[in-house]
Structure 1
Amino acid sequence: MEVSMRALLELRAQAASGALPQDTLRKVARTAVFTIDKGNRTLGMELAVRTANGQLVDPLKISTYKLNALHDDANARIEKNMETTPVSPPPATPPGARTYTIAVRVHNFVCRMNEPAEIALALHDASGAKLTEHLLLRWPTNHISTALVVFTDFGGDIIKSEKIYLVSNIVRIGNMDAQNIDNRRSSVAQTPPVVSPSARSMRRPFGVACADIKRFVNIDCPSPDKHIQVPFYAYEKENLDCLLKKIIANRDIKDAKHSQGLWVSVRLVEGDLKQIREENPHLVVGNTAVARKMGFPEVIMPGDARNDLYVTVCGGSFSKGGGKSSERNIELIAKVVDKHGQTFPGVISVGAGVPLVNEYTSVVYYHDDRPRWQETFKVCLNIEEFKEAHLVFLCRHRSSNEAKDRAERHFALSYLRLMQREGTTTPDTQHNLCVYKIDKRANQSEAEETCLGLPSRRDELPAGAEHGLARGVLQLVPRDSLAVSTKLCSTKGNLRRLKMEHALRGRYATECIDATASSTERRVGQVPARYIGRPVQYTDAVMVWVILAANAGDAALKRLLMCMKCIESLIRLIVRSRQLRSALGDRASDSEFCLLFEALLKQLVWLMRCGDHALTCQGSALKYLPHAVPHIIKVYPDTELSAYIVRALEALPLGRLSKQRMLALLELVRGPLCSQPSARALLLPHLAATTRALLRDKAEQCRVWQWDREAAHKSRSVGKAARLLGADTAKLPDHTHHQQIVCIRP
């Protein structure tokens, strides 16, 4: 009974969470009902009569005969379910969940260090690539506490992955050289550090703690609160990234003292952050830090607004310069500035669990002109502010001598535009940036503003730039470079996707015009100059050109016929292009679009006035144009569209294509155009007048009689075939039922 009660409580929590789909919720409800009935049967209590759906039946509102029948059915159902009940209890979570969260609690950090430090905790895959944002902890703390971080947005691949590494980069905050270590310190110590960081302190590499936690990332883990040691490996000569790769590759590492390290407990929870707050609130109470996956989850839930730009400083190559005989101790400072050189305050996240800052400062490697940082920070900026923002990277030499270090200034600058010149956000790739030397007498804000007039990436440099490229206080250093990579995770209107899709559609329209122009003879009717003098951004210009070529011979008519058959797809292309441009905030071209589309409708009216040589094209236009109307009314006024359609139908002679005309009117009446009163007021009078004229036309009556005669002949043919084959006429396939014929009888 205890197991049943626990299972019932878990089922109730799942049903009350409100995060289950309907089919899973029904399954949970049925399981809960069966658990209750089973418990009542075990305790010898009265049977609760239910329907097949699990709803309780009120004995006072049902007949005795029906109540007895439901009672027998309920007994049979309970006995059958008890015979097939599995021994194991039902799963605690529904099997359809596809989002997982890893909760990591940091209990202690034991290390021989006499200075403050930063501990950056993140998850990496089997190759060492970073999967999540990192949690930033200050060490040591002034009081005994444990830090909790939840890594969210994982999908089912986290369960199938071969290895999951919990990696912690330890960075020492202090002078260039570490102080003498005379005792072992731990984060559980209540005494504050001897040395406090100052404004002249620098971030120096100290070591890496790394361990594979895949065996603990399991829903059925028996001891989720077990303390796990993450061994610490001290930094020697190579950078922290190389040290991490050496650890993952299981190479022999000297002086690997496993008595030092990080002590954590790991737990895998099924569900996203919202579901965890509802079902496991103890995991996200207080100051719980949330580190998201560096990418989108498998399922993006409604309301999950996100606009994160992850910037990874990969490495750089710098010349000595300045008359120095040894290599520099390079410190990189990154910040976001506008076009005037003003810094955006509080838009850089150096890690989860700490507030936003104005700039990011890298680790300093001793005497290394080719540092490999591989450090990641996040830019939290609204997508609307990307247009005027760019990342600036300032390089500075840090001296071991405090007096000399105080006199050092930034010697070089690189920058990266967050929005490219064509209006798209910076692509998700690695950027090889140019490095510009800063004049010693220059002001820092002046240099940050001047850089916008110079190329940002090395692939943008003009020919001959290696011989000299300067602007104001900046001068290109041809041999130097800085490599950074970016990754944008945005759900607040993907501006880049909209812009790129619109550009591709515009390019397609231009290529269509070029292809049409190359195959059209010179004696084609005159084309408006605005379609030739500049690139066209809308496909309706192509269609206007093709319609104007209707009198240019068989080749032009064939091309026009293909255009009419594809008119729905072409109209959809026009409409989508207009919608994308409107989504980008371009309202200035609305009048131009209306003029272009109006020209297209006028040419369709002109097409209906053409002679017998365009009869096939006219029939195709009547057949396929009504299917494009639901798309047109999204970007063009329905009243004006209805007026042009009526003009086109009136331009077609009454005795021409009567069947296609009536089918087109039938499709228009059934479509969304007639649901608008103003458009319906124009279309219905024309429909009535056309029907009246056709009823009075004797030639049309002859055609109706001929259609009836053909239909009767087909019916007799089917009956004859049925008699010969010995089958029922209703069972014979009639291939003519797909053709919709509108007959007008007097």
Structure 2
Amino acid sequence: KDHNTENQKHYLIAGFRGTVPHGLSLEIGDTVQILEKCDGDGLFLSKHFIFQGIFPSNYIHLKNACVKNKGQFEMVIPTEDSVITEMTSTLRDWGAMWKQLYVRNEGDLFHRLWHIMNEILDLRRQVLVGHLTHDRMKDVKRHITARLDWGNEQLGLDLVPRKEYAMVDPEEISITELYRLMEHRHRKKDTPVPASSHHLFVQMKSLMCSNLGEELEVIFSLFDSKENRPISERFFLRLNRNGLPKCPEKPERHCSLFVDLGSSELRKDIYITVHIIRIGRMGAGEKKNACNVQYRRPFGCAVLSIADLLAGDSKDDLVLKVYMCNTESDWYQIHENIIKKLNARYNLTGSNAGLAVSLQLLHGDIEQIRREYTSRFTHGVSITRKLGFSNIIMPGEMRNDLYITVERGEFEKGGKSVARNVEVTMHVVDSSGQILKDFISFGSGEPPASEYHSFVLYHNNGPRWAELLKLPIPVDKFRGAHIRCEFRHCSTKEKGEKKLFGFSFVPLMQENGRTLPDGTHELIVHKCEENANLQDSGRYLKLPFSKGISLGNNSQAVKTTKESFWITSFLCSTKLTQNGDMLDLLKWRAHPDKIAGCLSKLKEIDGSEIVKFLQDTLDTLFGILDENAQKYGSKVFDCLVHIINLLQDSKFHHFKPVMDTYIESHFAGALAYRDLIKVLKWHIDRVTEVELHEHIQEVLKAQEYIFKYIVQSRRLFSIATGGQNEEEFRCCIQELLMSVRFFLSQESKGTSALSQLQAVFLSSFPSVYSELLKLFDVREVANLVHDALGSLPTVMHGDESLQAVKLQSIGKTVESHLYTNPDSRCILLPVVLHHLHMHLQEQKDLIMCARILSNIFCLIKKNSSEKSVLEEIDVIVNSLLDILLRTILEITSRPQPAGSALRLQFQDVTGEFVSCLLSLLRQMTDRHYQQLLDSFNTKEDLRDFLLQIFTVFRILIRPEMFPKDWTVMRLVANNVIITTVLYLSDALRKNFLNENFDYKIWDSYFFLAVIFINQLCLQLEMFTPSKKKKVLEKYGDMRVTMGCEIFSMWQNLVLHLLYILPSGRGVIDMNS
């Protein structure tokens, strides 16, 4: 009994010599296709689909497969994961070549390839098991393809086009898409993408010094010597008496990652500063029993330039020299003195003193770094941020950090003969007088504390500390809270008392919700000698607190005092504001008389304040619009435009999705569309008024989101009213777009301002299509867009920048969802091709033209036989085929630019145009070719076309047309060329024989055929067995096909041999 098993593929798991009658000799790993299965152990089969024979059935392992193109050129494709198929065939090819590396004594590559092959085999096993998660499988495939590509490149094999780690079938995608995949992989191989973000990894090892014996605090930060300020928070850790990290069981406290350093921070004037504070006696040389109280005292400082790390990016430990200032009062600026090399102000703390640290600059995304440096992040690493917000503020980022720098103080002697030893103690106190627990952070690496103690400077009534603290106080505890700083004299006597002599305080928020403004504040020092007097905060909060500012009702007369205390505050909050104008705007209902002023001042408010309260601000604007559109409509529109354009800034770009969410989920202005359309049309109608150009430009930049609000408002109105006033709305949109068409149709006549406005409009006009599609059907929107783009002046001698932007707008139109729909594409295609033809005619903006054409053809798949697609090909052939051929001839005849970047750009545009031509020719059917040939009015026109296309084909098969390893692209190009030549052969026979014989065109034809056959990429004998098999399955031997065609055409020229033979064009081997 026989069984049909044609759709099954088998692999040999044991060798078979094939010594029986009709036996087939096979080796382990050979692939066979079962043609027929018989009772017993015999199988009829084929090996490499050429030899047939029988062998025992238990010698094979079954794999399912599908058969395409049954017959002479049938392809058997396994149904397994394509990555597994590629690994199998590639390793088989590498195996033979790997042995030759040993023979040729290429030992280095031999061993490296051996390791890579084993690694691929291990990864292959993981994929075959199939127990990987989706993300892990993706990661494994990425590793596999990276190793396959490396090996192929080392062995001089072909570049493999891939999409999401899987090989693509060049027959299943357009040729332009294939070219883009090849070009992207080729460029990616040559040009690595530079990292945009950088991070500094710091690990504290030890402090080496002979005179230790006390515990230490080490504080790292980044300092900008150009602007003379710190740019990062602090990394804080404690050392024991031996100079080693105090908590060895918590390695995460020994290291930190300074994150989000931009390229601007990687320069020579950025320094890593390290301040070391000792915990112990007032004087380092005092006896141990002299005092039981411990103080924070200056010990030493070290600095290192970021530039030193950039030079080597070393992972080795560094030993930094530790210096101490000569005069203790200079401690606050010791790092500046070291950077400036003011040697007279500091000395080494000891001849053998050194701080051992490990520093490394890491580049890339933080998550990527965590994956690549897993050993560093095993136990967790503290994160040290830049001061304030990062360069890019992310939506959803929740922060409420108040940075306080304890700057300096001016104190009296207090009846003493010598100056005081002043220590500052800071607390955060709530509205009930209770000290808030754990809201004072000394730096990353150390848990927050409830109080802060400054270091003590010996006998100094004007101490300078410059210590930075972070107070991460929650928003709900901010109102009513205040900071209290207590000042104590630290005695050096045996008892070591710390005696209170005064205090200062500062509230964090006004009653109206405005927070303590950023900047330096001079606080009043109030006399106080009893701790009990500080228990009742209600009493002292009635006192004045500052000589410079007043918050709320605290405005009592300031008493004359010679003592002052200075702090600097800086708020980094996503919830609180220091801006009074913003508060007035958000509370507009309480002060309706201030609305006009608040709207006018919105543009002066810092952008970070606006995005913090984005939803509240938008609610306010549309609330005012609903309340009195006639009075405030224009001002609200201007404010909306300002906010929309604010989000174009790279710093706030990530807030666009926040606005999108607001429009979709929170926006409630059902009547707003009327006023928005009215004011937008008013601006467009006045584009010729020069004094308004700058303002109108801002409006046109914001048109995408203005239309989003218009559309959403109309949808809300329709839902609420059941679709009332639909016709009125359509008329409004038609009138608006009529104004747009008139505006676009204006020629600048030497006025660059008008063309600049047109350019601004065109650059964002395509973003409006998707919004219009929410209210109108695709054909309506396509007609509106067609009319708008069709109204553009057709002259090409105008403003060149406008012409470029116009073409970019056409390009965005082709990339839009509107164009991908066949119903709308047939309306848009003529106007797109019209503008392309104009630019190609003038040979201008060729790069953009090539990109647009590529996108057009990417939508057209090879096997698409839909009526709409066939009609599109008709239009493209009539409009662009001739100009496309001329463009390729023009750009390939130019000398290549000298610079590498320009040369790469030149090759890109040439390759894109070639891929577009090949895509068009492959898509053409018998009918298209017949219509093309019939369209020539005279034989002279047909002759010129044939000579032109044969010349282009000779250019396409030059070895330098594509990179050496682009065999896939070359084979596709050759397949298109030979198919086209077969179509055009009939035109030669019908029109240029007998009395119409034309030597030049026949000579061009045979010359093309000869160099086609002799191409290296078609010499199958030079290929590996697997590559030869794939080419034969997909294309057959194209040399044979062309040879047969040459023979056929030659037979038609028997009567004209006298014209052909003298040319000596070379020998044509009919057997090739």
> Is residue 208–residue 240 contact of structure 1 (8 Å, CA) maintained in 2?
no
Q: How far is 1:328 from its partner?
A: 1.2
Q: How far is 1:428 from its partner?
A: 2.0
Equivalent residue, structure 2, for 1:114:
213
CA distance, structure 2, for counterparts of residue 396 and residue 678 of structure 1: 69
Q: How far is 1:273 from its partner?
A: 3.7
2:162 aligned with 1:56, yes or no? Answer: no
2:329 aligned with 1:238, yes or no? Answer: yes
Report matched runs for 1:296-315 at 5 Å: 296-301=389-394, 304-315=397-408
2:470 aligned with 1:378, yes or no? Answer: yes
Q: How far is 1:354 from its partner?
A: 1.4
> Is residue 310–residue 486 contact of structure 1 (8 Å, CA) maintained in 2?
yes
Aligned residue type for 1:36: L
Equivalent residue, structure 2, for 1:503:
584
CA distance, structure 1, for counterparts of residue 302 and residue 617 of structure 2: 46
Q: Unaligned regions of 5+ residues in structure 1, if any?
A: 20-24, 182-193, 471-475, 511-533, 543-565, 571-575, 608-619, 643-666, 692-729, 735-746
> Residue 377 of structure 2 is aligned with which of 272, 284, 296?
284
Greater helix percent: which structure? 2
Equivalent residue, structure 2, for 1:719:
none
CA distance, structure 1, for counterparts of residue 561 and residue 222 of structure 2: 37
Report matched runs for 1:245-644 at 5 Å: 245-253=336-344, 255-256=347-348, 257-286=350-379, 288-301=381-394, 304-321=397-414, 323-403=415-495, 405-406=496-497, 408-438=498-528, 440=530, 442-446=532-536, 448-460=537-549, 476=559, 478-491=561-574, 493-496=575-578, 500-503=581-584, 536-539=593-596, 583=616, 600=628, 638=670
CA distance, structure 2, for counterparts of residue 114 and residue 208 of structure 1: 18
Distance 1:450 1:581, change over 3 A: farther
> Is residue 225–residue 336 contact of structure 2 (8 Å, CA) maintained in 1?
no
Distance 1:732 1:135, change over 3 A: closer
Aligned residue type for 1:501: M
> Is residue 120–residue 135 contact of structure 1 (8 Å, CA) maintained in 2?
yes
Residues 83-137 of structure 1 deviation map (CA, whole Å, 9 limit, x = unaligned): x998xx864xx31x32211011222201222222212122222245222222222
Residues 126-170 of structure 1 deviation map (CA, whole Å, 9 limit, x = unaligned): 2452222222222224686872222112111122x2233222222
> Residue 138 of structure 1 is aligned with which of 210, 230, 238?
238
Equivalent residue, structure 2, for 1:125:
224
Equivalent position SS for 1:351:
coil
CA distance, structure 2, for counterparts of residue 355 and residue 458 of structure 1: 34
Equivalent residue, structure 1, for 2:283:
177
2:201 aligned with 1:103, yes or no? Answer: yes
Equivalent residue, structure 2, for 1:706:
none
Q: How far is 1:634 from its partner?
A: 7.2
CA distance, structure 2, for counterparts of residue 167 and residue 540 of structure 1: 47
Q: How far is 1:435 from its partner?
A: 1.5
Percent of residue pairs bearing the same amino acid type: 26
CA distance, structure 2, for counterparts of residue 535 and residue 172 of structure 1: 59
> Is residue 50–residue 70 contact of structure 1 (8 Å, CA) maintained in 2?
no
Residues 422-455 of structure 1 deviation map (CA, whole Å, 9 limit, x = unaligned): 4222222111112211254843222x33232223
CA distance, structure 2, for counterparts of residue 541 and residue 362 of structure 1: 43
Report matched runs for 1:649-660 at 5 Å: none
Equivalent residue, structure 2, for 1:39:
151
Residues 328-385 of structure 1 deviation map (CA, whole Å, 9 limit, x = unaligned): 1111011110122211001111122111100111011111111001111110111232
Aligned residue type for 1:415: F
CA distance, structure 2, for counterparts of residue 731 and residue 580 of structure 1: 41
Aligned residue type for 1:485: T
Aligned residue type for 1:170: I
Equivalent position SS for 1:343:
coil
Aligned residue type for 1:428: D
Residues 38-83 of structure 1 deviation map (CA, whole Å, 9 limit, x = unaligned): 62365588x796468874247xxx9xxx59x999x9999989988x
Report matched runs for 1:69-108 at 5 Å: 91=192, 94-95=193-194, 97-108=195-206
Aligned residue type for 1:123: L
Q: How far is 1:308 from its partner?
A: 1.9
CA distance, structure 2, for counterparts of residue 335 and residue 670 of structure 1: 53
Distance 1:247 1:30, change over 3 A: same
Q: How far is 1:242 from its partner?
A: 3.2
> Is residue 123–residue 132 contact of structure 1 (8 Å, CA) maintained in 2?
yes
Distance 1:304 1:455, change over 3 A: same
CA distance, structure 2, for counterparts of residue 584 and residue 74 of structure 1: 48
> Is residue 433–residue 538 contact of structure 2 (8 Å, CA) maintained in 1?
yes
2:212 aligned with 1:155, yes or no? Answer: no
Q: How far is 1:600 from its partner?
A: 3.9
> Is residue 339–residue 452 contact of structure 1 (8 Å, CA) maintained in 2?
no
Residues 698-732 of structure 1 deviation map (CA, whole Å, 9 limit, x = unaligned): xxxxxxxxxxxxxxxxxxxxxxxxxxxxxxxx999
Rg larger for:
2
Aligned residue type for 1:484: I
CA distance, structure 2, for counterparts of residue 442 and residue 435 of structure 1: 17
> Is residue 318–residue 370 contact of structure 1 (8 Å, CA) maintained in 2?
yes
CA distance, structure 1, for counterparts of residue 152 and residue 615 of structure 2: 63
Equivalent residue, structure 1, for 2:307:
214
Equivalent residue, structure 1, for 2:714:
673
CA distance, structure 1, for counterparts of residue 183 and residue 368 of structure 2: 35
Q: How far is 1:410 from its partner?
A: 2.1
Distance 1:318 1:180, change over 3 A: closer
CA distance, structure 2, for counterparts of residue 267 and residue 581 of structure 1: 39
CA distance, structure 2, for counterparts of residue 202 and residue 585 of structure 1: 53
> TM-score, length-normalised on structure 1?
0.59
Q: Unaligned regions of 5+ residues in structure 2, if any?
A: 1-108, 124-131, 604-608, 642-661, 675-707, 732-789, 795-1072
CA distance, structure 2, for counterparts of residue 266 and residue 284 of structure 1: 15
> Is residue 105–residue 148 contact of structure 1 (8 Å, CA) maintained in 2?
yes
CA distance, structure 2, for counterparts of residue 396 and residue 411 of structure 1: 6
Aligned residue type for 1:444: L
> Residue 683 of structure 1 is aligned with which of 724, 735, 739?
724
> Is residue 423–residue 489 contact of structure 2 (8 Å, CA) maintained in 1?
yes
Residues 574-632 of structure 1 deviation map (CA, whole Å, 9 limit, x = unaligned): xx99x96994999xx99xx98x978747xx7xx9xxxxxxxxxxxx9xx99xx9xx99x
User: What is the CA RMSD across the aligned residues, in angstroms?
Assistant: 5.7
CA distance, structure 2, for counterparts of residue 113 and residue 732 of structure 1: 80
Aligned residue type for 1:99: S
CA distance, structure 2, for counterparts of residue 273 and residue 482 of structure 1: 41
Aligned residue type for 1:250: K
